Structure 1
Amino acid sequence: MKWFAAIAASAGLATPLAAQSYQCRMPQAVSAPAIERDGPVRQMPVTGYTMALSWSPEFCKPREGERSHALQCSGDNGRFGFVLHGFWPEGDAGWPQWCPTRRRPMGEQIAQQLCASPSVRLVARQWAKHGSCSGWNPATYFRVSNILYRSLRFPDFDRLSRKPELTAGDIREWFLAANRGWRRDAIGVKTNARGWLEELRLCYGKRFRPEPCDRRRFGVPDDAALKIWRGL
C-alpha cells in the first residue's frame, strides 16, 4: 500500500528507538474497558497527524500512589521515559474526534501496547477518541503508531535536565541532533503552569513526514525557560 510505504520512509529518517521503557513487565491479557464519549463528535478530512509523547517522570510525580496509574507509576512494571500518549489525526479546521464506529480494540491488542502506552484505559481511549477518525481498524492504527514511535531516538534527558538555564530550544536542538531528517518547527514542546516539561508533540503531514506545527501544537517558544523532572 502507498500509505504504508510512506510510513516506512518516514520511519527511516531516524535511528532506532532508545529505550524508553526500562525492564517493562506488563500483563499478557487485559479486559478492554468501555470508554464513554466526553466531547462532541467532529468529523473532517485528515490532513496530518500529531504524535504526543508524555514525559512519564513528570506525569507520575503526583500519581505514584494512585491505583489507577499503577501500571505506569508504581515502578512494579518498569520505569518509563517518554511514553506514547497518542497518535492523533489532524484536520485543516482543528482535529477530528469521537468518530462513530463499531470497531473496538480487543484486550490482546491493548496488552501489546502497554510498554509504549502503560495504561489500559489510555490505550482504549486513544482509539475511541482519535483512532476512530483515522479510517483504519484498531490493529492498523496501533501498528502505524508503533512504527513511527519506535523509529524515534531520544537523547539523554537526565543529562539535559542538568543543563544550566535550560530552554525549550535546547530540547528541540537535542531532538534534532538525535533524529536525522526532522525539523525544528515540527517539534512541539508542552510545559505545565510551573514550567516543567510535560510532553513533546511531533507534527506529521499526511504522508507521515515532519511538517511545521501550528501554534496550538508548537507550544512554548525556543527561549522559554523550563525544567525536566528526572525521577528515574
Structure 2
Amino acid sequence: MELPPSGQIRRTAIDGYVLALSWSPEYCRGRTRDPAARFQCSGEIGDFGFILHGLWPEAKGVNYPQYCRSVGVLPRRTVTDNICLSPSPQLLQHQWAKHGSCMANTPEGYLGAARLLFNAIEFPDMARLSREPERGTPLTAQVLAERLADLNDGLPANAVTVKTNAKGWLQEVRICLGRDFKPRKCPTFTRRAPATAQIKIWRGR
C-alpha cells in the first residue's frame, strides 16, 4: 500500500487528462543491472520502446488532483495483465494510488482505460528518427510531435509535448486529452521542451 505524502491529497475537479509515455531505452541507460529496474531494463521479459508512465487527471491549472482516496495493493492478476504496458510493479502501484484513485473505482478500470489509449497510438520508427540528425536533418520537439500527429488521425501536433533531460535526450512524450479522452491542444501551463529544442534519441543497448 502507498500512503500519500503529507499535504499531498488534492481533490480538484478534473478538466482533462495526460497520457504520459516514457522512452524506455533512455530510462534504462545504465540501469540494466539495477534490481529495482529488473523488469524494464534487464531484458528478461523483452526490450521496450515507449511504455506507459501513467494516465493523469488534470485540473484547469497546475493543481491537478492526486491521492483522492486510500487504495490497497494491486492484485497479482492486475499486475500480470499490465506488466508489459508498464514494466514495473512499483510504477503500476504508484500510478493507481496517485492518479487512478481520482478517476476510477477499480485499478482494472483505470489501467484498462490507459491500455486502450496506449494501444491506439501508432509510433514512428524511432531508430530511424534517431539517425536523422546524423544525416544532417535537425530533430526538434516540434518535429517529433508532427511525426506522431502524421501517423495518428485526430491527433494534432499541439496535443503532444516532449520532455528531455538536461542534455537533450528524449525522456517522455505526453499527449493532452480532454474530459472525453480525445486529444486536445495542451494547456498553456503544461511543462514541455520548447518546440525548437534539439532532441536526441537513445537507441538502447
Q: TM-score range by the shorter chain?
A: over 0.9
1:97 is matched with 66
Determine the C-alpha separation between the residues in 2 that align with 1:80 and 1:215: 31
Does the C-alpha gap of structure 1 residues 231 and 162 become closer, same or farther in structure 2, counting only changes over 3 Å? same
Determine the C-alpha separation between the residues in 2 that align with 1:189 and 1:123: 22
Find the partner of 2:5 among 22, 25, 38: 38
CA contact (8 A) 2:141 2:161 kept: no
User: Is it true that 1:116 corresponds to 2:63 in the alignment?
Assistant: no
2:114 is matched with 145
1:126 is matched with 95
CA distances 1:129-148 after superposition (whole Å, capped 9, x unpaired): 00001143211111111111
Determine the C-alpha separation between the residues in 2 that align with 1:215 and 1:156: 29
Alpha-carbon shift at residue 203 of structure 1 (Å): 0.4
**Aligned partner letter, 2:34:** E
- Superposed, 1:15-54 pairs within 5 Å as 34-38=1-5, 40-54=8-22
Alpha-carbon shift at residue 47 of structure 1 (Å): 1.1
Alpha-carbon shift at residue 166 of structure 1 (Å): 1.3
CA distances 1:63-98 after superposition (whole Å, capped 9, x unpaired): 111001010000111000000000001111321011
Does the C-alpha gap of structure 1 residues 215 and 66 become closer, same or farther in structure 2, counting only changes over 3 Å? farther
Determine the C-alpha separation between the residues in 2 that align with 1:128 and 1:182: 28
CA contact (8 A) 2:52 2:86 kept: yes
Return 5+ residue gaps in structure 2 as ranges.
none
CA contact (8 A) 1:176 1:182 kept: yes
User: Is it true that 1:210 corresponds to 2:183 in the alignment?
Assistant: yes
CA distances 1:175-210 after superposition (whole Å, capped 9, x unpaired): 011111111111010001111000001000000111
- Superposed, 1:166-177 pairs within 5 Å as 166-177=139-150
Find the partner of 2:162 among 169, 189, 205: 189
2:31 is matched with 63
Q: Percent identity?
A: 41
Determine the C-alpha separation between the residues in 1 that align with 2:51 and 2:95: 13
Determine the C-alpha separation between the residues in 2 that align with 1:173 and 1:221: 14
2:49 is matched with 81
Return 5+ residue gaps in structure 1 as ranges.
1-33
Q: Secondary structure at the match of 2:14?
A: coil
Alpha-carbon shift at residue 38 of structure 1 (Å): 3.0
**Which is worse superposed, 102-111 or 53-62?**
102-111
The number of aligned residues is 199
Q: Secondary structure at the match of 1:80?
A: coil
CA contact (8 A) 1:42 1:95 kept: yes
CA RMSD across the alignment: 1.4
CA contact (8 A) 2:71 2:101 kept: no
CA distances 1:23-46 after superposition (whole Å, capped 9, x unpaired): xxxxxxxxxxx3232351011111
Alpha-carbon shift at residue 104 of structure 1 (Å): 4.7
